[in-house]
Structure 1
Amino acid sequence: MSLHLDDRQPREVAECTLDVLTRATYLETLGPARLEGHSFGGVVVIKAAVNSDALGGVVA
């Protein structure tokens, strides 16, 4: 399963990271969550991974 996210607060790393962590919590109910991000999204998924022990992997 995959989700495409649009940031509520573009260019706000902390806000976007919280959004990703919230959605990752949902994905974890379906199995190991893996995040992928490009450019700014890469920064966000790396920050999210640092703040979650449950994420299965990150691609930036």
Structure 2
Amino acid sequence: MSQYQLRVYTQCSPEALVAYENIWSKHIPGMTKYRITTHGIWTVPAAFGSETPKLYALVSYKDGDDV
């Protein structure tokens, strides 16, 4: 059976969100080495009145794996 995690990364600015999205895209293939599967990443721009955009990543791994 697999465990799923929804990871949330809060960024300090819209520019940081773009940079972190690029880092995540390059990071995905390396995660398979640790048996972590990335099912998707999503970005959410800062909401009205807030300056904290977010990147969400849905990942899974097998029960018992040390992530």
- TM-score normalised per structure 1: 0.37
TM-score after normalising by structure 2: 0.35
Q: As a proportion of its length, which structure holds more strand? A: 2
**Which of the pair has more CA radius of gyration?**
2
The structure with the largest helix share of the pair is 1
